Structure 1
Amino acid sequence: MNRIACAMGASLLAFTMSVSPAAAHPPIAAEQAAASFEQDRADILAMAGNFKVRFDMQESTRWDAAYTPLEAKVSGGNEIVRVVEDTGRRIVLQHLLVVNHEGKDMVIKHWRQDWDYEPAKVLVYADRNTWKWEDVPEKMRSGRWSQTVWQVDDSPRYGGWGQFETQGGVRRWRSSWTWRPLARRDAVRNPVYDRYYVINRHQNTPEGWVHWQDNTKMGIKDGKLVPIVQEYVLNTYTRFDGYNVKAADEYWAAVRAEWDRIASEKGGIGVAEEAATGTVISGRLMQLADDLHNGEVKLRDAIAGARKLITENTRKL
């Protein structure tokens, strides 16, 4: 790691040590946890289905007087959310974007969210190109769920833990404070900030659900990690069935399993990223999926190729 990266890591550590996310909520009694467990599961599973999605992003408050906030941006699309795993205490939801290009429906693999009940540890973003296992304080595990989010190639993006709560008659899951790498929409601009510090909320609505993010965009200034601008992101999922869906499920199941194996055996995940695509192997993993869909490669060869890419491009932490 070069001197700049080391300085950034030290600044991140110093900033992290100055906050106490566990103090935001008290421990949950075992009786209360047991009573809400099935409702928690129902709320997570309710995020599965077919949706029309609206992505609403706005940089609203600048913390650095020299920074000019971006104009608000609204986009959208069609998306399906599939339950690809449900063991009771673990639920995995895969998101797939569906677009129409020249009259043909196309499926574009999107993000994935893994929910684990009363986790002992969570894979979190630690610094550039690095995700590490972080212990959840033992007294804060009861009744809580972790959410780990993965990118289009099933490499890690961020993780955090939190709890379901009801306020003002609305039930939602609220995360601990979590670090995140830049989204592609920001990374390609090479901005003055290089990571986000975030509170993350999921809540069901009569028409679907919403994902609300309170993002503090952070950057290095005068050798210190400081806030640059505040961003508010509201992603609204409204149930909608007016499109077709298909995907190479077995291939992506094998890719997910390989990332999980690497995280376990190498003590986390160290993989290089680039602004335009995410991980440096994202394009090749997606190309294998396309080749499989088009019949240009057999399933076993696509899986073998994906495993080789992931193994050779990750490092032990």
Structure 2
Amino acid sequence: MKKVAALALSTCIAASAWAQKDGKKNIDKLCGCFDVTFKYAETFSPNKDYQFHDREKITNVTELALPIVQTDKRIVIQHLLVIDDSTIVKHWREDWTYENPVIWIFKGDGVWEKTTVPATNVKGKWTQTVWEVSDAPRYQGASVWQEVNGHTIWENTTNAPLPRREYTQRTDYNILNRTNRLVLLPNGYNHVQDNIKISRTAAGDSIRAEEKGLNSYVRLEDAKCQPATNYWKNYAPFWVKVEAVWEKYMNDHTTVKLVESLGKGKSLNNQLFKLSDEWKNGTLKSNVDELIFSTILEHLQ
């Protein structure tokens, strides 16, 4: 009996080690220089009077997915848009952590709540945490990397705030329930989305529409993204400070309520970008850490 138990234990340990090592290998393939195409189409609504929104397609986007932290159990990838050789835009960030028990759940209207799940719930799983351009929280989910019909995939369903392409155009829903499926390909990967647009009120949830998304990442030669690499070398110290403020706040709190825009063009994104340029140019008149903290705090309730 002891031999059987020992064998079972060694099998579990081996399986966990394989999930960790193999998962990291897969996540590493999400890094690099890519030509990106974004496609979205609403497909269904339970409301017969619903007016479907136009399909959206954006092509020829050059994006660097730069690994800025790489350990056995944590990979951090910073995305940077290459507009041209002199214009780079800091984009979203994704953190991958192995067997992470802390999950932030989006509740709607700028509110996230922290929860701790049992270790068994994340055994062998990699958690993807996606952060806004401002390094504010966006969404988080855990799953295993697996082989399905000859494809290597990672899939999770979670609630998220509206993406920029939506919140700048409409206010008829406040939660995007998104199934994210990452499918590795020989020359890059696909980010396939099955999204449900939900209006959440005190009376309950109602579905506005369902949507299909396909973001295709086709690998380019690294030289195409060299301007983004140069940009990050210059600006990384500033954004590391921003990330540290968010990390401390979220470690110290169980709820985050974010107000992205305070009106009159005073958005968190714009304020932080302005600060980053002033920091880079050496024109800040106050301590940068204090300015970052006060700027972020102003948008939190």
Which TM bucket (shorter chain)? 0.7 to 0.9
TM-score (norm 2): 0.86
Alignment of 1:44-83 (within 5 A): 44-76=27-59, 77-83=61-67
**Structure 1 pair 236/279, CA: closer, same or farther in 2 (3 Å)?**
farther
Tell me the equivalent position of 2:3. Answer: none
Aligned length: 283
SS at match of 2:86: strand
What CA RMSD, in Å, does the superposition of the two structures yield over aligned residues? 2.5
Please tell me the residue identity of whatever aligns with 2:57.
Answer: V
Write the letter of the residue equivalent to 1:271. L
Q: CA deviation at 1:273?
A: 2.7
Question: Cα distance, 1:193 vs. partner?
Answer: 1.9
Does 1:125 pair with 2:106? yes
Residue aligning to 2:149: 168
* One-letter code aligned to 1:207: N
Q: Deviations over 1:278-316 (max 9, x none)?
A: 994221111111223444338x8434311221234324x
Q: Distance in 2 between matches of 1:277 and 1:96?
A: 27
Residues 78-227 of structure 1 correspond to what in structure 2 (within 5 A)? 78-100=62-84, 105-175=86-156, 177-220=157-200, 223-227=203-207
Identify if the C-alpha distance between structure 1 residues 274 and 297 changes in structure 2 by more than 3 Å, giving closer, same or farther: closer
CA contact (8 A) 1:262 1:311 kept: no
| Identity among equivalent pairs (%) | 27
Cα distance change of structure 1 residues 276 and 313 upon mapping to structure 2, 3 Å threshold: closer
Structure 2 match to 1:282 = 269
Amino acid at match of 2:75: I
Which stretch shows the higher mean deviation, 203-212 or 215-224? 215-224
Greater displacement, 196-205 / 286-295: 286-295
Q: 1:233 aligns with which of 185, 210, 213?
A: 213
1:264 to 230, 238, 251: 251
- Report if the CA contact (8 A) 1:165-1:171 is conserved: yes
Q: Unpaired segments of 5 or more residues in structure 1?
A: 1-27
Cα drift, residue 73 of structure 1: 1.1
CA distance in 2, matches of 1:51, 1:278: 32
Q: Which amino acid aligns with 1:86?
A: Q
Tell me whether 187-196 or 227-236 shows the greater mean CA deviation.
187-196
- Conservation of the 8 A alpha-carbon contact between 2:19 and 2:144: no
Give the secondary structure class of the aligned counterpart of 1:154: coil
Scaled by the length of structure 1, the TM-score of the pair is 0.82
Which has more radius of gyration? 2
CA offset digits 1:5-57 (Å, max 9, x no partner): xxxxxxxxxxxxxxxxxxxxxxx954322223211001111111111111111
Distance 1:141 1:192 in 2: 34
Asked if the contact 1:29/1:142 (under 8 Å) is kept, the reply is no
Q: Secondary structure at the match of 1:314?
A: coil
TM-superposed deviation, 1:171? 0.8
Q: What is the distance in 2 between the residues matched to 1:83 and 1:197?
A: 27
Mapped to 1, the partners of 2:206 and 2:138 lie a distance apart of 21
Counterpart Cα distance in 1 of 2:88 and 2:184: 25
1:310 aligns to 2:289 (yes or no): no
